[in-house]
Chain A
Amino acid sequence: MPDLSRWLNAHLWLVYVFLYAPILVLMGLSFNRAGMPTAWTGFSTAWYGKLIESPEITSAAFNTLIVASVSTVIATMLGTALALGVSRRRPSSALEALLFAPMIIPDIVLAIALLSFYTLLGFTLGLHSIILSHVVFNIAFVCAIVRTRLRHFDYSVVEASVDLGASEFTTFLRVTLPMIWPGVLAGALLAFTLSVDEFIIAYFTAGPGSSSTTLPMRIYAMIRFGVTPEINAMATIVMLFSFTLVLVSQRINKGTVTRS
């Protein structure tokens, strides 16, 4: 199938072009002298300078990182466990509904519901309340992806391991987890991405003040004046940082062979 794979690769590269075109646009605009995204008036790195002087944006970015990382870790653990628990059982409508629900409930409803709930409990809001709320939809997405992976899971390998005397935990760590790892990773990636971009639930469940403001919240409030190159500069930095992270993780992983 060499011909087919050439077409497929061409398609993949087109997809990358589609995905990155707006990114390149915003990176380019971060060097735009003018304050507006619609006219190019000359190259300038002034906005990166302004960014450094703007502690609110950098602290918001930091907060976003914390919220996304912590909620991803929690959601991945809970979601994977949930997927493992569910996949061997007979399908039950109630359970399915429960697992679909966080994806289906409109985010504004969840946002207001959670705020009302926290208020009723007299719960103090802060970054932690955002994390608690983000885990809700992240669990559902992680679970869904891991379940997809588990559909073709060969349980006989697990049983063999147990028969050979390995404990439940060792079996999980040495047999199950490596086999579902791509699914878990995909789910975690998804959860991280969703959390990084989410601002409605974050806005409503955040505490007042900049110690619990996340970047999307900040940006949504700032777009009143259109997107300033400052924000584009921030987005560019985030992108470059992530890109570096990817390269570094590839270096580290060079020795590891991915088992199928």
Chain B
Amino acid sequence: MTMLRKLAAAAAAATVALAAVPGLAAGKIVISNWDGYMPADMAEQFQAATGIEMEVALHATNEEIMGKIVAGGGKGYDVLFVSSPFAEALNQLGLAAKIDHGMIPNLANLYPQANELAYDPGNTYQVPYAWGTTGLCYRSDLVAGTPDSWSDLLNPDDALKGKITMLATDRWLMAAGMLARGYSVNETDQAKIDEVKADLIAAKKNLLAYDDTTFYSKLVSGEASLVHAWDGWCNYGTAENDQIKYVIPKEGTDLWVDTMVIPAASENKEAAHAFINFVLGQETGKWVAENIMYKVPNKAAMELLDPGYVAAFPNIGYDPAEMLKQEQMRDLGAAQKAYTKAVSEITASQ
């Protein structure tokens, strides 16, 4: 990965002019993002390109930054990186600003499908940053055969019992159960929620842990053999041990999107738009994909990727047209309470 980083840095340094937006006054913006989810020198590159200073605040989970924005109104922040259901909620709560497409010419770099996402057709209050799927990540040398179904996670072979982890975030935990039964990941019917809850309570006995953050290192160390994972995360594992593979179960998966939102309370909306435009630049997009090992909805960037890189990490090459066939997670409105309650019951069960 260091080699790729150096390569990417050199390339970006040579072509950073492509991303520059001329004629903007210098200012300062504050971004909140997950650690390591942007190239480490994004701030320097952005400042070199636009003259705008940038500070990065970190959040560990969507829920945390949501709590802070809902309680604090978003004051002091200019761009937030949140997953799509949360962007939707921010918009519904009136906390997201309208995106001025005129200030973001690089929107043209996006795949056409990325402009028609179910939770925000036309990208009115957010701009997609990275997208991908959720599936099974496993050690091909430790698992007999090839897992291909959510049931492999929920009803594993004896050899795998105690060596499985599932995602802890309530939406994705329930989604695994929903998909295994052929339900929608946005299911709100209480009877179906209860069925899935029962399945997941039964599945808990075979689990090592619920893990959102260190499941790939458990695979690398051999503590776990099969984990519930987001595709980009699985790549971190593959980078350390090429026996680690990713598969989308046959029942389907969810298409998740991590988005950039400008808080309504932001006082630097122009500069925020300039940042988003910078991120959507062709070179920046390619650089992002190579560094964080996720797919970006930036068509121009993805086409520039080195085929060898794509071969090493197959899920990067997943065709967006195929991906769009998967369901997208939406905010559940009032049903969110039912999901949190079901997950409480699952984690509290003995």
Contact = CB atoms under 8 A, between A and B. Distances in A.
Do A and B touch directly, given a CB cutoff of 8 Å in the complex? yes
Interface of A: 36-39, 112, 115-116, 118-119, 125, 203-204, 207-210, 213, 217-218, 220-226
B58 A209 contact: no
Contact of B55 (A209, A221, A222): A209
14 contacts: A37-B217, A38-B217, A38-B223, A115-B71, A119-B72, A119-B75, A125-B72, A208-B57, A210-B57, A220-B60, A224-B213, A225-B36, A226-B213, A226-B214
A167 B218 CA distance: 66
Interface string B221-233: 1010000000000
Interface of B: 30, 32, 34-36, 55-60, 64, 67-68, 71-73, 75-77, 213-214, 217-218, 220-221, 223, 236, 240
A221 B59 CA distance: 5
A204 B67 contact: yes
A119 B60 contact: no
B223 A223 contact: no
A213 B213 contact: no
B76 A221 contact: no
Nearest to B65: A203
Contacts of A208: 30, 32, 55, 57, 76-77
A221 B223 contact: no
Task: Please provide the 7 A-B residue pairs with the shortest distance between their CB atoms, ordered closest to farther.
Answer: A221-B58, A208-B76, A38-B221, A115-B71, A209-B55, A208-B30, A221-B60
Given A208-B76, A221-B60, A112 B67 contact: yes
Given A36-B217, A38-B223, A226-B217, A209 B60 contact: no
A206 to B, nearest CB: 8
Given A116-B71, A203-B64, 6 more contacts: A37-B217, A112-B67, A204-B72, A208-B55, A213-B57, A222-B36
Contacts of A218: 58
B272 to A, nearest CB: 13
A157 to B, nearest CB: 49
Given A38-B217, A221-B59, A125 B71 contact: no
B221 A36 contact: yes
Given A38-B217, A38-B223, A115-B71, A224 B57 contact: no
Contacts of A204: 67-68, 71-72
B57 A209 contact: yes
B30 A209 contact: yes
Given A223-B213, A224-B34, A225-B35, A203 B68 contact: yes
Contact of B76 (A125, A220, A223): A125
A210 B240 CA distance: 31
Nearest to A206: B57
Residue among B34, B68, B77 with the most chain A CB within 10 A? B68
A118 B68 CA distance: 12
A118 B76 CA distance: 13
A220 B30 CA distance: 19
A207 B57 CA distance: 10
A39 B219 CA distance: 12
Contacts of A115: 68, 71-72
B71 A222 contact: no
Contacts of A119: 71-73, 75
